[in-house]
């Protein structure tokens, strides 16, 4: 079986592929990744008898077509994934997340690909004050990132509805774990503290996220690919909802730091208050449940960053340079606490 996996030099895709390669008798995997700032070839084995790495863009239709001709199934992770970057500029988000997904879907349709798993996000639903979204809840994305993900999510479902393609969509909550690019809150806070720097907490820190260990997410995706049904959406949750203040307290504790290391910075524009997916369907239909305990998961994640400075330090230095600047500049401006 040949599996085409897009975006697997990134955080979640690389965890998924490393898991497949560790399994005896797993599929042959072709990875297509553009190696943007977020992708790192080091996230995957340098060589493996069941791995082919192709450096390229999902918007490159001739390249996608050549690879799709040999693919039985597709798992599509590739995306621009950081909300703050989408606020600074949405063009790459529309190009990769919308046009790239359409390019893959068209090619998969032409080549009669058996199953196409599209990795979406809980952010497509928008923000919810109380309760949790079931899969049939209407989409109300609010950031340029989530709007581009909602577009690709709906396109994927449209290829099922219109062409009868076996498309399956996953919508998961906030992932954390090793190999996450140090711009997302968990690795950013851990690596700042490891460097003796303060952590920038947005606004009052009262926004709520549901935390999901990346290995649990990858297990959920594999269940959807192998046991899910065509045209279905599956929410994948982590079961640990925390305010950003609660999350910060835990990270401070595992890193041995105090609240003096927290800097209150201006809030994110249009900051969604809370995400919460109802993952009853994945539990009852596929037997999905998250296995990682959050406190232990954060402690082992901090341990991974402590022992992998050579992985994250160059990425972080590069990410903090505004285009065309050679000096490191602070990304967030501190504000007076109200």
Residues engaged in binding ligand TDX (CB under 6 A): 81-83, 121, 123, 174, 184-185, 188, 200-202, 207, 209, 244, 268
β pairing state of 240-243 and 208-213:
antiparallel
**β-pair partners for 116:** 74, 167
Helix %, strand %, coil % for the chain, to 5? 40, 20, 40
Helix extents (H) in the chain: 11-22, 61-68, 83-88, 91-93, 101-110, 144-163, 185-194, 214-227, 244-254, 280-286, 294-307, 309-319
Residue 123 annotated to the active site: yes
29/204 Cα distance (integer angstroms): 44
Count H helices, E strands: the chain? 12, 12
Out of 16, 125, 145, 234, the active site residue is 145
Binding segment for ligand NAD (CB under 6 A), chosen from 2-10, 267-275, 276-284, 308-316, is 2-10
Residues 6+ apart with CB under 8 A from 133: 122, 125, 235, 276, 277, 278
Q: Is 177 in the site for ligand NAD (CB under 6 A)?
A: no
Query: Which residue in 3, 4, 5, 10 binds ligand NAD (CB under 6 A)?
Result: 10
Residue 145 annotated to the active site: yes
Out of 122, 216, 241, 272, the active site residue is 122
Residue 122 annotated to the active site: yes
Q: Which of ligand NAD, ligand TDX, none has residue 166 at its interface (CB below 5 to 8 Å by kind)?
A: none
Q: Which residue has the tokens 């390249």?
A: 63
CB of 66 to ligand TDX, least distance (A): 29
Query: Whose Cβ is closer to ligand TDX: residue 18's or residue 171's?
Result: 171
CB of 247 within 8 A of CB of 185? yes
Q: Is 242 in the site for ligand NAD (CB under 6 A)?
A: no
Query: Whose Cβ is closer to ligand TDX: residue 51's or residue 201's?
Result: 201
Nearest to 124 by CA among 113, 110, 135: 135
56 φ, ψ to 5°? -175, 175
Q: Which of ligand NAD, ligand TDX, none has residue 13 at its interface (CB below 5 to 8 Å by kind)?
A: ligand NAD
Q: What is the DSSP string of 135-160?
A: TTSPP---SHHHHHHHHHHHHHHHHH
Query: Whose Cβ is closer to ligand TDX: residue 22's or residue 273's?
Result: 273
Query: Which residue in 83, 100, 188, 234 binds ligand NAD (CB under 6 A)?
Result: 100
Q: Which of ligand TDX, ligand NAD, none has residue 268 at its interface (CB below 5 to 8 Å by kind)?
A: ligand TDX
Query: Strand, coil or helix: what is 42?
Result: helix
Query: Whose Cβ is closer to ligand NAD: residue 198's or residue 213's?
Result: 213
CB of 320 to ligand NAD, least distance (A): 16
112/101 Cα distance (integer angstroms): 16
Binding segment for ligand NAD (CB under 6 A), chosen from 45-53, 78-86, 260-268, 311-319, is 78-86
195/335 Cα distance (integer angstroms): 22
Q: Which of ligand TDX, ligand NAD, none has residue 209 at its interface (CB below 5 to 8 Å by kind)?
A: ligand TDX
**β-pair partners for 28:** 2
Q: Which of ligand NAD, ligand TDX, none has residue 315 at its interface (CB below 5 to 8 Å by kind)?
A: none
Residues 6+ apart with CB under 8 A from 239: 210, 212, 290
Q: Which of ligand NAD, ligand TDX, none has residue 16 at its interface (CB below 5 to 8 Å by kind)?
A: none
Query: Which residue in 44, 83, 119, 254 binds ligand NAD (CB under 6 A)?
Result: 119
The contact set with ligand NAD (CB under 6 A) reads 6-7, 9-13, 32-36, 38-39, 57-59, 77-81, 96, 100, 119, 121, 149, 172, 174-175, 181
- The catalytic residue positions are 122-123, 145
């Amino acid at each position: 079986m040949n599996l085409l996996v897009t975006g697997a030099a990134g955080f979640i895709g690389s965890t998924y592929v490393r898991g497949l390669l560790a399994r005896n008798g797993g599929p042959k995997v072709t990875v297509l990744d553009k190696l943007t700032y977020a992708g790192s070839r080091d996230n995957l084995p340098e060589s493996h008898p069941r791995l082919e790495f192709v450096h390229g863009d999902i918007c490159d239709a001739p390249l996608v077509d050549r690879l799709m001709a040999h693919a039985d199934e597709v798992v599509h992770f590739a995306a621009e994934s950081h909300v703050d970057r989408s606020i600074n500029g949405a063009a790459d988000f529309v190009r990769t997340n919308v046009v790239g997904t359409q390019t893959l879907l068209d090619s998969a349709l032409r080549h009669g690909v058996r199953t196409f798993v599209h990795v979406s996000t809980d952010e497509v639903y928008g923000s919810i004050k109380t309760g949790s979204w079931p899969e049939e809840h209407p989409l109300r994305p609010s950031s340029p990132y989530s709007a581009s993900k909602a577009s690709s999510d709906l396109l994927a479902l449209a290829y099922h509805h219109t062409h009868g393609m076996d498309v399956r969509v996953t919508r998961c909550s906030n992932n954390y774990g090793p190999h996450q690019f140090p711009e997302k809150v968990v690795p950013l806070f851990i690596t700042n503290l490891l460097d003796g720097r303060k952590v920038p907490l947005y606004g009052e820190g009262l926004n709520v996220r549901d935390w999901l260990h990346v290995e649990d997410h990858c297990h959920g995706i594999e269940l959807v690919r192998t046991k899910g049904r065509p045209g279905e959406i599956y929410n994948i949750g982590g079961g640990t909802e925390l305010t950003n203040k609660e999350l910060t307290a835990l990270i401070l504790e595992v890193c041995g730091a105090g609240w003096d290391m927290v800097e209150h910075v201006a809030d994110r524009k249009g900051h969604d208050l809370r995400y919460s997916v109802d993952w009853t369907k994945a539990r009852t239909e596929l037997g999905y449940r998250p296995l990682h305990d959050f406190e232990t998961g954060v402690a082992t994640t901090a341990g991974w960053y402590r022992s992998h400075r050579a992985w994250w330090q160059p990425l972080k230095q590069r990410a903090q340079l505004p285009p065309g600047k050679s000096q490191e500049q602070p990304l967030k401006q501190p504000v007076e606490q109200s």
